Amino acid sequence: MKLITAVIKPHKWEDVREALETFGVTGMTVSEVSGYGRQKGHTEVYRGAEYDIALVPKIRIEIVVDDGDTEDVVGIIVKTAQTGRIGDGKVWVSPVETVVRVRTGDQDEAAI
Amino acid sequence: MDYGYHAWMLVATSLVLMMITPALALFYGGMSRSKSVLNMMMMSFTALGIGGIVYVLWGWSMSFGSEDVGMLFANPFELFGLDGVGGQNYIFVGFQMTFAVITAALISGAVADRLKFSAWVMFVPLWLTLSYFPIAHMVWGGGFLGTAKDGISGLLFDLDPVPIDYAGGTVVHINAGMAGLVLAILLGKRLGFGKEPMKPHNLTLTMIGAGMLWFGWFGFNVGSIVFAGESPEADATQFLSETSLVWLNTTVATCAAMLGWLLIERLRDGKATSLGAASGIVAGLVAITPACGSLSPVGSIVLGLVAGGVCALAVGLKYRLGYDDSLDVVGVHLVGGLVGTIGAGFLATSGGLLYGDGAKQLVLQVLVALGAVVWSGLATLIVGLLIKYTIGLRIDEEGEVDGIDFLEHGESAYELSSGGGARRTPGLNATASATTKEGANV
């Protein structure tokens, strides 16, 4: 099993969710996060005072999948979230040892 | 006629009350940080709670009593508790009360995030007593800066002309702005001022507040008519024409000031901002306050444009001069009040320099403005130092970092996540009685 973590542009989240649902991903954890990479923040001006806003708002998606689905899911996220401009985000994959479904106690593949 | 005027004063007084709560509280609250919005709004609310009572007890007597003391203030004990005041005069007490309260509340913008709540509770009655009531007496109550024979205009120009302050350019705005400046300096800068971002946390509140201030200001300005009192017919004519003019002047000056502020922003920063529109509105309202009965509508547009532009530039002064007037009480109220008070010397249709009536009016306006600056500055310094060296002005550093809302009021303004991590502790009463039983009550 793998944990796929994707940080993407907020306005792409609805497209990514639809594409993943069509593929068959049944659940995910989504959080509103902020950070920065090559896309630095921006400047805001209030009553003439400039503020450098370093952090850019992003959406973080976390999905646990079977090993076999990993490549497809990553591919779907990358394809759907891409705009070709700086700030599109990142996707990374990490190994997962154990998964337990809280309601039933099912383990691993049965719990995904 | 009497009934009509009286009914209008009931409405006008209620409109000014609305300017304090909630309009000013919203305007300032939106501009403050999310960890100090409740404290900011509480300063407006408690200014009303304290100021309303103080005004009835000795405020009216000190401002408009007949026992003048050195043309500076009136005997606070003459009409203490409104002894001897009655009938329809109660609504004039109410009207003037709301002016005193909003002036004190305006100062709160200069002290955001860091003034002890107990210090504010002490500041309001002391400051009203030493600064507001005397200046109100000097300008409107027969004192030195008004129309009295032995006053500044009588001594210099034999009462021709007399100073112009229709609704409080000196009494309210220069007074509050100067007090804000002095108090901000005494209090010191917020931690991280000029380094950390301290941007407004909710500009929609600020926009709502600015719109409500504009609406309430019609009570403030249009309610400030003073009758010549020659005959009932003449008073009726004056009422109809003067209230109409003042309403219109108040509106167009504010329109122009909003545009003036936005224009400066567009040219200087590249974008016209919502905070700029809200601020321009208030700057225009401030500037037209003293002048609204003396200008033509076109003159009001000129005054508004100047006020919007000048105030948009003046709010940057604090960074250059290094005082933390957090929400720009100085840049908007002191500077806007000066623009309006001195601007009337140029633009008054009768007496104004630009109307070919010489410089007497202008000289008088400058002197009256200076008088208010000096008195307010000294009175605020005395009150501020008194509090600083008794109970202290400022909250501790840790509390300031955590946020004054929690430190001083035990609350937080926003709970935006459904989980929140909060668990309701057993009722305070239950806890108290349990500890009492165990004899461990502290």
Smallest CA–CA separation between A41 and chain B, in Å? 13
- Over 70: is that where the pLDDT of B436 sits? no
Chain A residue with CA closest to B331: the answer is A47
Average pLDDT, chain B: 94
pLDDT at position B424 over 90: no
Residue B192 pLDDT > 70: yes
What does the alpha-carbon distance between residue B81 and residue B175 come to, in Å, rounded to a whole number? 25
What φ, ψ does residue A30 adopt, rounded to 5°? -125, 135
Q: Report ipTM for this prediction.
A: 0.79
The string of pLDDT tens digits covering residues B217-238 is: 999 999 999 999 999 999 999 9
CB < 8 Å to A44, chain B? 199
Which of A47, A51, A53 faces B275 most closely, judged by CB atoms?
A: A47
Say if residue B421's pLDDT is above 60: no
**pLDDT of amino acid A40:** 80
Q: What is the pLDDT of residues B411-420, one digit of tens each?
A: 999 987 665 5
Alpha carbon distance B183, B334 (integer Å): 13
DSSP assignments along B69-114, one per residue? ETTTEE-TTTTGGGTT--TTHHHHHHHHHHHHHHHHHHHGGGGTTT
**So what's the pLDDT on residue B176?**
98
Asked whether the beta carbons of B108 and B40 are under 8 A apart, the reply is: yes
Could you tell me the two tokens for A14?
A: 């609805």
Nearest to B297 by CA among B251, B341, B263: B251
Cβ separation of A48 and B197 shorter than 8 Å?
no
Do B173 and B286 form a contact (C-beta atoms < 8 A)?
yes
How many other β-carbons are positioned within 10 Å of the β-carbon of residue B306? 22
Q: What's the confidence (pLDDT) of residue B244?
A: 98
Contact criterion met (CB < 8 Å) for B316 and A51: no
Q: How confident is the model at residue B252 (pLDDT cuts 50, 70, 90)?
A: very high
Which range among A96-105, B333-342, B405-414, B425-434 shows the weakest confidence by mean pLDDT? B425-434
Min Cα distance B279 → chain A (Å) is 8
Residue A1 has pLDDT above 90, yes or no: yes
Please name each of the domains of chain A with its CATH number.
2-111 (3.30.70.120)
The torsion angles phi and psi of B19, rounded to 5 degrees, stand at: -65, -30
Q: How confident is the model at residue B439 (pLDDT cuts 50, 70, 90)?
A: very low
For the cut 80, the answer to whether the pLDDT of residue B129 exceeds it is: yes
Q: Which two tokens stand for residue B137?
A: 């007496």
The answer to whether B316 contacts A48, with C-beta atoms less than 8 Å apart, is: yes
Closest chain B residue to the Cα of A48, Cα to Cα: B316
**Distance of alpha carbon B318 from alpha carbon B109, whole angstroms:** 14
User: What is d(CA B33, CA B200) in angstroms, rounded to the nearest whole number?
Assistant: 6
Pairing of strands A2-8, A89-95: antiparallel
The amino acid occupying position B218 is F
Q: Is A45 on the interface with B (CB under 8 A)?
A: yes
State the fold for domain B2-222+238-406.
Ammonium transporter fold (1.10.3430)
Q: What percent of chain B shows pLDDT beyond 90?
A: 92
Which of A29, A44, A47 has the most B C-beta neighbours within 10 Å, making it the best mutation to test the interface with B?
A47
If you write DSSP's letter for every residue of A7-34 in order, what string do you get? Answer: EE-GGGHHHHHHHHHHHT----EEEEEE
Contact B199 A51 (CB under 8 A): yes
pLDDT at B434: 46
How many inter-chain contacts (A to B, CB under 8 Å) are there? 32
Q: CB distance from B316 to chain A under 8 Å?
A: yes
Please give the backbone phi and psi of residue B67, each rounded to the nearest 5 degrees, phi first: -90, 80
The alpha-carbon gap from B354 to the nearest alpha carbon of chain A, in Å, equals 32
In chain A, which residues have their Cβ closer than 8 Å to the Cβ of B331?
47
Residue B442 has pLDDT above 70, yes or no: no
Burial group, residue B233, by CB count within 10 angstroms (0-12, 13-18, 19+): exposed
Q: Is residue B209 classed as helix, strand or coil in its secondary structure? A: helix
The H or E element spanning position A61 is strand A56-65
Mean pLDDT of A80-109: 94
Q: What is the pLDDT of residues B254-274, one digit of tens each?
A: 999 999 999 999 999 999 999
pLDDT, tens digit, 9 for 90 and up, residues B299-314: 999 999 999 999 999 9
Q: At what angle do helices B335-347 and B175-187 cross, to 10 degrees?
A: 150
pLDDT at res. B11: 98
- Are A49 and B319 a contacting pair at CB < 8 A? yes
Place of tokens 């001022």: B193
Give pLDDT tens digits for B74-116.
999 999 999 999 899 999 999 999 999 999 999 999 999 999 9
pLDDT at B429: 57
Nearest beta carbon to residue A46 from set B275, B312, B313? B275
Residue B441 pLDDT exceeds 60: no
Question: Closest approach of chain B CAs to the CA of A32, in angstroms?
Answer: 12
- pLDDT tens digits, one per residue of A25-77: 999 999 999 999 887 888 889 998 888 888 899 999 999 999 999 999 999 99
Residue B98 gets the label, from left (phi > 0), alpha (psi -120 to 50) or beta, of alpha
B317-339 pLDDT, tens digit per residue, is: 999 999 999 999 999 999 999 99
B397: left (phi over 0), alpha (psi -120 to 50) or beta: alpha
**What single-letter amino acid sits at B269?**
D
- At B375, is the pLDDT very low, low, confident or very high (cuts 50, 70, 90)? very high
Among candidate residues B138, B69, B61, B128, the one with its CA nearest the CA of residue B93 = B61
Q: Does B419 touch chain A (CB under 8 A)?
A: no
